[in-house]
Structure formats: structure tokens, C-alpha cells
Amino acid sequence: QILPRLYHEKVIDHYNNPRNVGSFDKNDPNVGTGLVGAPACGDVMKLQIKIDEESGKIVDACFKTFGCGSAIVSSSVATEWVKGKSMDEVLTIKNTEIAKHLSLPPVNLLHCSMLAEDAIKAAVKDVELKRAKLKGNSSADA
């Protein structure tokens, strides 16, 4: 063993092959965008979810993170976890679960994985607002 095992192999895997890097059209009414920053370090994470109009389930997710390795792997895991879930379900995802799954070093546990939890919440809020607006408009038109 040449390299010190500071990071769990899951971290290295997500760092080398981040899942679901990219962007969706933020004007799509079924896309929710969460853009959050970490005041402690200035890092920024954008996480987007795409939901099925009928069921309201999350069918796809992507992210872009301008931040440290722990933030990148946390967002990669978060995008994997939210797929196929309802918006209520993903609101219960905790940064501590993400950090535990990745065995992140304790220094990175709080802030970096917190970005992912916050970004999921912000994305859900965004799409819920959009959908509420659309509903409001269509009933007003009717």
C-alpha cells in the first residue's frame, strides 16, 4: 500500500467518476434548481432535479460543484440517492447520512456534505414553487 488510506474507496470512486455532472434547463417547469454556497469557504453547489409531471417523483438529477473534493463526492452521491424518490422522501436526506456513506473525514463532514443536503432542499422548493404557480395560473385561466 503506497498511498495513505485517508479516504474511503467510495470517495475516490465518486471523485474520479462523479455521477450526473451537468445541467438541466432551469426554465423547464419540471426542473428544480438548488444553488447554495458555503459561507465558511465560499464553495458553491448547483443541484438540479427533474420530476415526472404526473407522479411528482424525481426521475433525474444532476449537479455542478465549484468546491472541494468532499463537496463533489457529496453532490455525486446526492444525485444518485434522489432518483426515483418522491420530493417528500428526499427532504429527509441528511448530510450526516451522506458523510457516513462516504466515510468522510470529520473535518469535512459538516460543511461540505451540508451543501448537498441544502441543495436538495432548495431544488425541491424551487420546483414546488414553479408547480404551484403553474397550477394557480391554469385554474385562473379556467
CB of 23 to ligand FES, least distance (A): 19
CA separation for the pair 71, 75 (Å, rounded): 6
Q: How many residues does the chain have?
A: 142
69-82 helix and 9-16 helix, angle to the nearest 10 degrees: 90
Q: Is 115 in the site for ligand FES (CB under 6 A)?
A: yes
Q: Identify whether the C-beta of residue 119 lies closer than 8 Å to the C-beta of residue 80.
A: no
Marked catalytic residue, from 41, 91, 129, 134: 41
Q: Which residue has the cell 474511503?
A: 8
Interacting span for ligand FES (CB under 6 A) from 49-57, 97-105, 106-114, 130-138: 106-114
Considering only 38, 51, 99, 116, the residue that binds ligand FES (CB under 6 A) is 38
Q: Which is nearer to ligand FES, 58 or 123 (CB)?
A: 123
CA separation for the pair 74, 69 (Å, rounded): 8
Interacting span for ligand FES (CB under 6 A) from 18-26, 82-90, 108-116, 129-137: 108-116
Q: Is 14 in the site for ligand FES (CB under 6 A)?
A: no
Sheet holding 31-37, edge to edge: 31-37, 44-51, 58-66
Active-site positions? Answer: 41, 112
Q: Using CB under 6 A, list all residues that contact ligand FES.
A: 38, 40-41, 43, 67-68, 70-71, 108, 111-112, 115
